[in-house]
Amino acid sequence: MFGSRLSVAQLGMTGMDDVLKAAAQWTGEGRKAALGTVVKTWGSSPRPTGSQIAVRDDGAFVGSVSGGCVEGAVIAQAQAAMEDGKTRLLEFGVSDEQAWGVGLACGGRVEIFVEPVDSPMRRETLLALNEMREAGRAVVRATDLAAGEDRLIDPYTDRSPLGLAAADAARADQSGSVEVEGRAWFLAVFNPPLELVVVGAAHIAQPLTQIAALAGYRVRVIDPRQTFATPQRFPGVALSHDWPDDALAKAPLGPRSALVALTHDPKVDDPALGAALASNCFYIGALGSKKTHAGRLARLKANGFDDAQLARIRGPVGLAIGAKSPAEIAISIMAEITATLRQPPR
């Protein structure tokens, strides 16, 4: 029988549309639970790879692996998996008629991995995964779909062949299947949100923060000049009037952070760039002409940064697309940030 979707209030926890948290809560209460994960798609699949559903022993569920056309079968298989403790790899074809019913223009196929998670080992993995996510750490769960073995991988530190594949998946923000050393693994990517830190509430910062927010970044603006960094100029953006070194000490940059310095003022930009160079943020950019940038690099070098470190700073900032207006310059900056994030390191 098709299960019932639970609301956040019914689950009694904030954010319980979060599949992994729901599964952890249920198993913590002594209930049986299973996860279904979309591991492969063909054609016009209703849900992308990595989509998940958590199913409780009574058929209640959170999440989705289709537009509703295969959920009932997945829930039934999840309940069967809870009973026998075995994983299942299911494949469904979505006919054109069904596809129209869930808002698609054509049919497709989807492969779904179903696993019970109430055993001590899988529950331990689930709890560790949730702890990493709560701490804002990037983590990739690698699952051998044939053997059922799984591993939690730090994509920034694991240099094994599987770890390098996980790093590629994390960089692309894309879960998917890979073959490593003769074994087929599904890599489920759990990345913390991307962050853009803008130093200097200049005119360019206004369209830049808007574009970054549309691209899914959490945005904050740092500028000690309170008349520049105002809610009226930056509605809905987190603002800090601390000096950049103080602001970045309170909320440090991480591997999913990008920083752009826009003031042209060494008193503001240089401390921000120094903090960024000391971090593992993935992008550092600074506005200014080639002459301005050369002077900036000379000052930072005098403060102890070497050439290899200084090469991380993109200056003049942005892709060379002939941008003139603040909005066009903002587009060029976000394009360069995106290229740095998505393309493999040289």
Residue 11 has pLDDT above 80, yes or no: no
**pLDDT, tens digit, 9 for 90 and up, residues 36-47:** 999 988 766 667
Lowest mean pLDDT among 169-178, 244-253, 279-288, 301-310: 169-178
Backbone φ and ψ of 33, nearest 5°: -150, 160
Query: Model pTM?
Result: 0.77
pLDDT-based confidence at residue 280 (cuts at 50, 70, 90): very high
pLDDT tens, residue by residue, 313-329: 999 999 999 999 999 99
Q: How far apart, in whole angstroms, are the C-alpha atoms of residue 187 and residue 176?
A: 5
Q: Is the predicted pLDDT of residue 1 greater than 50, yes or no?
A: no
DSSP for 237-253, please give it: -EEE-S-HHHHHHHS--
Half-sphere exposure of residue 29: CA atoms within 13 angstroms, side-chain side: 13
- What average pLDDT does range 139-151 have in this prediction? 91
User: What domains lie within the chain, and their CATH numbers?
Assistant: 1-120 (no CATH), 136-192 (no CATH), 195-342 (3.40.50.720)
Give the pLDDT band of residue 339 (cuts 50, 70, 90): very high
What pLDDT was estimated at residue 99? 52
H or E stretch at 231: none
Query: What is the percent of the chain with per-residue pLDDT over 90, rounded to a whole number?
Result: 75
Mean pLDDT of 235-243: 97
How high does pLDDT run on average in the chain? 89
**Does residue 31 have a pLDDT over 90?**
yes
**Phi-psi map region of 313: left, alpha, beta (phi>0 left; psi -120 to 50 alpha):** beta
**pLDDT at residue 248 is higher than 90:** yes
Ramachandran bin of 174, using left for φ above 0, alpha for ψ from -120 to 50, beta for the remaining angles? beta
The pLDDT of residue 7 is 42
Q: How far apart are CA 208 and CA 322, in angstroms?
A: 17
Over 60: is that where the pLDDT of 185 sits?
yes
Model confidence at 255: pLDDT above 80: yes
DSSP code for 180: E
Q: Could you tell me which residues are beta bridge partners of residue 239?
A: 221
Q: What is the pLDDT of residue 136?
A: 87
Average pLDDT, integer, range 206-223: 97
Only one residue has tokens 């790899």, namely 89
92-128, pLDDT tens digit by residue?
876 655 555 554 445 567 899 999 998 898 899 999 9
Would you say residue 234 has pLDDT above 50?
A: yes
